[in-house]
Amino acid sequence: MRAAHEAIVQGLAFAPFLHFQFQCASPLHVEIASRSRAPLYVAGSGGCHLRWEDAPPVALHTGDVAFLPHAGRHRIYSDEGVPPRRMAELMALAPARHGRTFGLSIDDSGNAAPPQLWSGSFYWAADLAAHPVTAALPPVLLLRQAEAAAWLPSMAQLVAWMADIHHGGKGVGLAQTMNALLQHLVLRWLQGGAAPHAGGSDGSAPHDERLLAALHAMHTRPAHPWTADELARLCHMSRSPFTQRFQAQMRLPPMRYLARWRIHLAERLLREQRMTLQQAADAVGYSTGAILARAYKRERGVAPALDGATPARRAEQPAVKSR
C-alpha cells in the first residue's frame, strides 16, 4: 500500500506563484477572500487561529501546516476582536520583495511583544483543481507538528529561513521545498495522518486497499486502455460498488478521474518537455493528437497550450502583474 501512495503523490508538481513571510507584533487578524489563490501556510511562532468560511476556528501552533487547496475566504487571527486587514491593505504597505518572495513586518502595538511569524506560498487553485488527487482533498488540511513524523519541525524551520529575504535564504529553493511539503502533506492524508478540518465526510481519504490498486494502476500506467470493469477487477469488486466507492472517496467516477489524470500529464509533457500533441497523446493513452485536444478542451474548457502556459496562468497572469 505504501508504494501505491508514493506513486500517487509523485505526480504532484505545482509551481507556487508567490511566497511570503509575515511578522506581526500587533494583535493579528488577516482576512483572505480570494477564490483563485490557494495558500499553504507554515506557522513559525505565536499561537493563532484559522477560520475557513463559516466553519469553527482551529488553533494553530508553531510548526503546524495548513493547506487550503480550493482557496476560499478565510481568516488568521490571534484576536478576533481586532478589525481584520485585507490582503490589499497589506500589499499597500509596500512589503519588501526579492523575486517572487515578499516579506512584511508590522508593529503598531507600541509594545515589545515577540512577533508572530508566518511563512508560506500561494498556488493557483485552478492548477490544483486540474489534478485529480488535489481536487479530491478536503477544503482544509492540517498537519500538526506534535503529531507528525520527526521531519516536520526541521521542514518548518527550513521554510521560515528560506522565506526570510533579509537574513535568510531570500526565497531561493523555496518553490521546491514547498512542493515537497505539499507532497508529504498529501501523502500523510492518503495514509490517514493529516487531519481534514471543516471537510466533514468530504475529508475521507482512500484507505481502502482495493481502491488503491486501481489508483496505483492509473497513476503508473496511464496509457493502458483501462475500462471501469478492468479497474474494478483489480480491486476484486464488481463494477457498480467499485464505481460508487471510488466516486465517494475521490469525488469523481473512475473513468473521469483517469481522464483528468491523463490531461494533467499531457499538459505537463506539452509544457515541460515541449512534446507535440501526438507525442503527448501516445504517452497518456489517446490514439491521436486531435482526440487528445478534444478531450483536453472538454476537461479544461480551452484548447491545449503549446506556449508553456497553463490555462490558469494565462487567465490569471494580469492579476499577478497588477500586484
Q: What is the pLDDT along the chain (323 residues), one digit of tens a residue?
A: 667 788 888 878 898 999 999 988 778 889 999 999 999 999 988 778 999 988 889 999 989 999 999 999 999 998 888 899 888 888 888 899 999 999 988 876 555 556 788 899 999 999 999 999 999 898 999 988 877 668 888 999 999 999 999 999 999 999 999 999 999 888 888 877 555 554 333 444 446 778 889 999 999 999 999 999 999 999 999 999 999 999 988 889 999 999 999 999 999 999 889 999 999 999 999 999 999 999 999 988 888 876 555 555 544 443 333 33
**Which residues make Cβ contacts (< 8 Å) with residue 244, sequence separation at least 6?**
none
Domains of the chain: 2-203 (2.60.120), 209-313 (1.10.10.60)
Report the alpha-carbon distance of residue 107 to residue 117 in Å, rounded: 12
Region of residue 259 (phi > 0: left; psi between -120 and 50: alpha; otherwise: beta): alpha
Q: Within 13 Å of residue 200, how many CA atoms lie on the same side as its CB?
A: 3
